[in-house]
Chains A and B, each alone.
Chain A
Amino acid sequence: MKQLTITIQSAIFDFSRNKGRTFLTSLGILIGVLAVVLLTAFGLGLRVFIEQQFESLGSNLVRVVPGKILQGGGFRGGSSAMGTIRFDEKDVLRIERVKGVKMVVPVFTKSITIQGASESIFSDMYTSTAGVFEALNVKPQAGILFTERDVSKRSKVVVIGPTIAEKLYGTPKRAVGNTIKVESQTFRIIGVAEKKGGGFGGPDFDSYVYMPYKTAFIFNPQKTFLALIILAETEDSIPKVKRGVEEELLVRYNEDDFSVIEQQELIGAISSIFSMINTVLLAIAAISLVVGGIGIMNIMYVTVTERIKEIGIRRALGARKSDILLLFLVESVILSLLGGAGGLLLSAIIVFFIHPYFPAYISMESVLLALGVSSAIGIIFGVFPAKKAADLSPIDAIRYE
């Protein structure tokens, strides 16, 4: 123990005399660890972000969409992935009868241009029943939400997302009571939804225009739906609901024409894509660690040559081959760990500044991994130079000038 402490001390003394060289040698590992840790941090952050997005929609949800989009836990490609069928009100009635189903929310969406008082903006229209607000966990921050009565009366009312409210009328409060025009039809704004976040390629709920689906038949003359959102009574009843819904739909459609997906499957499928991309990036980053390791090996060979005399002295005083091996291994591991710790520190700083914008975070695992991998690199790339030092003959070493 004492010997190890002295070994570490003398290694640190060596490094402090060769600060520039030590820094440059560790830099390779530093960059490698930085790349790996940051990528992992972003990968983890992305996963959390996706899960948050879905969780904000509420659990207990099952979606019915056209086509077979999932296969073996991931997304499926090819032409049959995007289905061509559309659902209608008959499907809604049939599914409502399935045991365990609390509510069926048919959805028809359409990209639209909204004309406000002064300007016009692009948006997505989300047309459904009043139940959509419960299913998607949408609450008003100003005004009210539309009701089943509004749906059956085909009231020309809309609930808009906060982003649209702000763009058109400055504040959500001022938007309520005003009107918007969609394709020359006028609708009254009765409510503004609470902020939900989103965007970044995902659905941007804050820019949606929610409209009673029957009112929206003006824009949807076929009276069809792109998706059915099913709210199950409890989370436990989801598998039963899925089976029931599938049976019900198979009466009218082919197996390949539709998918019944629960929230968790969707999260899993999206996550698996991102983790695949992340793995590829990590593999590339790992190459820089190997390059860093070769840098350490190079410098350790130089160090051994510089210190042949010292090796001879130690051997003359009774050091065994294994003592010399340890001496140089400790040095290469410290060098490598120095780089690893530096990379970790730098990534922590970067993540700290990015965190307000993106939920990237450094997990305990990646800290341990970074330190473990850099020690391993120190050992793997240090062992050859250290072996060379240990195998020097004591007499040749001590006579070396």
Chain B
Amino acid sequence: MIKLSHVRKAYQIDNDVEFVALHDISLEINRGEFTALVGPSGSGKSTLMHIIGLLDLPTSGEIVINGDDISHLDDNALSTLRNEFVGFVFQQFNLINKLTVLENVLLPTYYARKKLSYDPEKRAMEILDRFGIGSKANSRPNRISGGQQQRVAIARSLIMSPDMILADEPTGNLDTKTGDEIMALLKDLNREDNMTVVIVTHEPDIAARTNRQIRIVDGSIESKNP
């Protein structure tokens, strides 16, 4: 579904000093996989995640999505891919507090360029109900618990029916029990709905609940478990 070949990401620190966050990364993520990116802090997990999610572009290397090379796409086309192809879930939830829960979930549909085959509001409510937070639809995100906020964020990532969900440390801001619930929810999406899920985590028990782990150390892939 998405294939990265020889992806390199370097940050210009000073005029002649550059910091290489990712060296020569090649990997492929296939439909229906539940993958964990693991590795020590600062190893480049988030950087890789942002590149997979088209939020950031590699310094060099090739990215092919569903058979298409994205290197020559302009900003508008990349925006459309972010809108339709991926759903992001962040550690800090990243909900907009001046919008209601329902409006947050609907936010990606405001930016949809394609005609949606479903009623967004109805679908949003279905997802919220499935996640047990339908009653919070009209609340502001800062008025509900962290676990509930992360469910809202996952609901938002699903509203456009993306090809995959990218979750950067989705349990990082939650206690163990709530974190487990969120993991169960993602696992459920993967199993029941065949959703492709990629998470970043540095907790081994969380990583253990996925089907595939990719370990990043110092910007390179160390080993792969099939």
Contact assessment for B83 and A317 in the assembled complex, using a CB-CB cutoff below 8 Å? yes
Given A320-B76, A321-B75, A314-B88 contact (CB < 8 Å):
no
Contact assessment for B55 and A318 in the assembled complex, using a CB-CB cutoff below 8 Å? no
B169 is an interface residue with CB less than 8 A from chain A: no
Residues on A with beta carbons closer than 8 Å to the beta carbon of B55? 315-316, 394-395, 398
Q: What are the interface flags for B86-119 relative to A under an 8 Å C-beta threshold, 1 for contact and 0 otherwise?
A: 0010100011101100010001101110000000
Given A318-B83, A398-B55, A398-B94, A6-B76 contact (CB < 8 Å):
no
B82 is an interface residue with CB less than 8 A from chain A: yes
Among A17, A316, A319, residue most surrounded by chain B Cβ atoms (within 10 Å):
A316
Number of A-B residue pairs having CB atoms within 8 Å of each other in the complex: 65
A390 nearest CB neighbor, chain B only: B75
Q: What are the interface flags for A1-24 relative to B under an 8 Å C-beta threshold, 1 for contact and 0 otherwise?
A: 011001000100110010000000
B83 nearest CB neighbor, chain A only: A318
In the complex, what distance in Å separates the CA atom of A394 from the CA atom of B88? Answer: 13
Q: Min CB distance, B49 to chain A, in Å?
A: 11
Contact assessment for B84 and A14 in the assembled complex, using a CB-CB cutoff below 8 Å? no
Q: Min CB distance, A22 to chain B, in Å?
A: 14
In the complex, what distance in Å separates the CA atom of A319 from the CA atom of B55? Answer: 12
Given A317-B108, A394-B55, A14-B83 contact (CB < 8 Å):
no
Q: Min CB distance, A329 to chain B, in Å?
A: 16
Residues on A with beta carbons closer than 8 Å to the beta carbon of B98? 10, 13-14, 17
Q: What are the interface flags for A367-401 relative to B under an 8 Å C-beta threshold, 1 for contact and 0 otherwise?
A: 00000000000000000000000000011001000
A51 is an interface residue with CB less than 8 A from chain B: no
Given A13-B98, A14-B98, A317-B107 contact (CB < 8 Å):
yes
Which size bracket describes the interface of B in this complex? 20 to 34
Contact assessment for B96 and A319 in the assembled complex, using a CB-CB cutoff below 8 Å? no
Residues on A with beta carbons closer than 8 Å to the beta carbon of B82? 315-318, 394
Other-chain contact of B111, A10, A323, A395, A398 (Cβ < 8 Å) = A323
Chain B positions 138-178 with a Cβ under 8 Å from a chain A Cβ = 156, 160
B56 is an interface residue with CB less than 8 A from chain A: yes
B80 nearest CB neighbor, chain A only: A318
B79 is an interface residue with CB less than 8 A from chain A: yes
Residues on B with beta carbons closer than 8 Å to the beta carbon of A270? none
- Additional A-B contact list (19), CB under 8 Å, known A14-B98, A316-B53, A398-B55: A10-B99, A313-B95, A314-B96, A314-B111, A315-B79, A316-B82, A316-B88, A317-B88, A317-B107, A318-B82, A318-B83, A318-B108, A319-B79, A319-B111, A321-B79, A323-B111, A394-B56, A394-B82, A395-B55
CB-based closest 4 A-B pairs? A318-B83, A318-B111, A395-B56, A3-B110
Interface of A toward B, CB cutoff 8 Å: 2-3, 6, 10, 13-14, 17, 309-310, 312-323, 394-395, 398
